Amino acid sequence: MASTVEQIKNKLGIIEVVGSYLKLEKAGINFKSRCPFHNEKTPSFFVSPSRDSYYCFGCGKNGDIFSFVQEFEGVDFIGSLKILADRAGVVIEKIDPKLKNQNDKLLTLLEETTLFYEENLEKNPRALKYLKERGLEKKILKSFRIGFAQDEWRSLLEYLTKKGYSEKEIDEAGLIKESQGKVYDRFRSRIMFPVSDPSGRTVAFSGRIFGEENDEIAKYLNSPETKFFKKSNTLFGYDKAKIDIRKNNFAILVEGNVDVLMAHQAGYRNTVAPLGTALTREQLDKVSRLTKRIVIAFDSDGAGFKASSRGAKIALSVGIDLKIASIPEGYDPADLIIKDKDEWKDVIKNSTHIIEFYLSRLKNDEKDERKLGLKIKEEILPFVAMLENKIDQAHFVKILSETMGISEEKLYEEVEKIEIKDLDVSYPEDKKSENTDIDSRRKMIIRRIIGILLWQESMKKPTVDTKFIRKEIQKITGKETILDDFSSNEKSDLIFEADILYEGSLNVKVELKELFGRLEEDYLKERLNLKMKELKKAENEGDSKTSMKALKECQNLSKQIAKIKSEF
């Protein structure tokens, strides 16, 4: 009988899986897209149906459907297995013990805890009545597996201990605390919202206080960070919303867990929430892999408004088209949905771009023209500076110019003075420029040529003259041992790249001719720049003989470059 992995692979092809996450374009017998794992403008991510695999020329990520889901969803192998098994309709009978580790035991512990809290809720009529009054139906409570933590000190601890788990394991899962030598349950007298990873496995909890509320007790309490739960990288409801976010091509961000449940219940299943009000770059990166359109629908109070402002800076910096839904004063999304679903629908439909939203708010709050201008400069221009799309930037500069009575040129001057690094936006430490030396144009051309050479030499019947390729490389670069620059692993990767790109193609010779032309052009331009410097130096020193010689060489190099360009 075929293994679970084989059954899934037989039912799900690489194009079907990757194509559900990315927009793929046909490229010969393969498909291509912009890589979801690094920032790029030109597609370098290729998917091969014949090999049932993917490969990115930009960052080197490669693999099959399981590794793709692991990378994209941020889950381990078991998580990817669960996601793809659910999709393929394959029942996971059992997991290979070799694939299991301590993390899996802790995840099983968290599953047991989820069931424990669910059973507690069914036994608590007061908590069920409260949730019903909040407008939540049984179906949505079951879907999100909402539970209840009793107002007892050690009920969960005793339950899990009887199940065979140690205090150390329960603590590692973030479910207990210690004080003055005594160990007790972290969550007590709370409505429990399981927090899931993208595959739907419970990795943490968010508990809302139930009963008497006071300033000394936090309204919401989240699990501490663990091996598999990082608050800054987690969105409540993401596992249930991701398909609808992709399908609808926009996401709704709300502030609270109940807001998420009510929005899903109302049919807006593309809704998620950060665990706390401050949005992080990691959370927005996760959403932006599925869509570049986000509507923020935070509460109308001051805290929600400020949270939108902080999140907006990050969102605009990663190229997201960000809109704000204007929630009526005194309401949060859940309250508004209970009051009138149609009004909620209109609020989402009529959401406005973050810059227009802030401008409208400032114009309503500040009637003094001079003070309004200063506030626009302080609060709105930083957002304009972050816009990646220059057409969008021009659009908003024009609007602000008309509002402030200042020329567009002056506003552009102010925008250019703003340094993005000073705008309270954190960047990942490993973020690299697309123009780093390792990804330079010349190196990429050489890689492509070497890949074709090695690929052809690995064939029994090459379709191009490999000796000619070697001679041409040496002639242009002046190096006899350029292949020594690549390790055996790199050479294997280059053969794989070439095979993906040119397998079944009749245009390898045409591609080679263009690559050699571009490589020669690159070297000629380098020589031209050196000669131009030599010419300038000779002219400054009054050395007419040297300057005339350099001028002729510059003219000759320019003609060679022009000739190459004319051929392509």
Residues 146 and 203 in one domain: yes
Q: Looking at the predicted structure, is the pLDDT value of residue 95 above 70?
A: no
Going by pLDDT thresholds of 50, 70 and 90, the confidence category of residue 235 is very high
| Strands (E) located in 43-142 | 45-48, 53-56, 62-63
- CA-to-CA distance for 43 and 46, rounded, in angstroms? 8
116 Cβ contact partners less than 8 Å away, ≥ 6 residues apart: 147, 156, 159, 160
Top-ranked range on mean pLDDT: pick from 3-12, 123-132, 271-280, 391-400:
123-132
Contact by Cβ (8 Å): 196, 239: yes
- CA-to-CA distance for 502 and 346, rounded, in angstroms? 51
Residues 117 and 204 in one domain: yes
CATH number of the domain residue 281 falls in: 3.40.1360.10
Neighbours of 365 (CB within 10 A): 10
Q: Looking at the predicted structure, is the pLDDT value of residue 170 above 60?
A: yes
* Residue 30, beta-bridge partner list: 27
Q: How many residues does the chain have?
A: 568
Q: What is the pLDDT of residue 56?
A: 84
Neighbours of 335 (CB within 10 A): 19
Span of 100-104, 133-137, 518-522 with lowest mean pLDDT: 100-104
Mean pLDDT across 482-486: 79
CATH number of the domain residue 85 falls in: 3.90.580.10
Q: Looking at the predicted structure, is the pLDDT value of residue 142 above 90?
A: yes
Question: What domain count does the chain have?
Answer: 5
The 10s digit of each residue's pLDDT in 51-76 is 888 888 777 788 889 999 998 988 88
Residues 327 and 360 in one domain: no
Residues 306 and 239 in one domain: yes
Domain residue limits at 405:
351-427
Residues 84 and 114 in one domain: no
**Domain final position from 345, 368, 401:** 345
Q: What is the pLDDT of residue 296?
A: 92
The 10s digit of each residue's pLDDT in 172-227 is 999 999 888 899 999 999 999 999 998 889 999 999 999 877 767 888 899 999 98
Mean pLDDT across 272-283: 84
- The residue that leads in pLDDT, 493 or 1, is 493
Q: What is the pLDDT of residue 439?
A: 41
The 10s digit of each residue's pLDDT in 431-469 is 444 334 334 567 778 888 888 888 888 888 888 888 988
Question: Is 131 within the bounds of a domain?
Answer: yes
pTM of the complete model beyond 0.75: no
CATH number of the domain residue 210 falls in: 3.90.980.10
- CA-to-CA distance for 98 and 109, rounded, in angstroms? 19
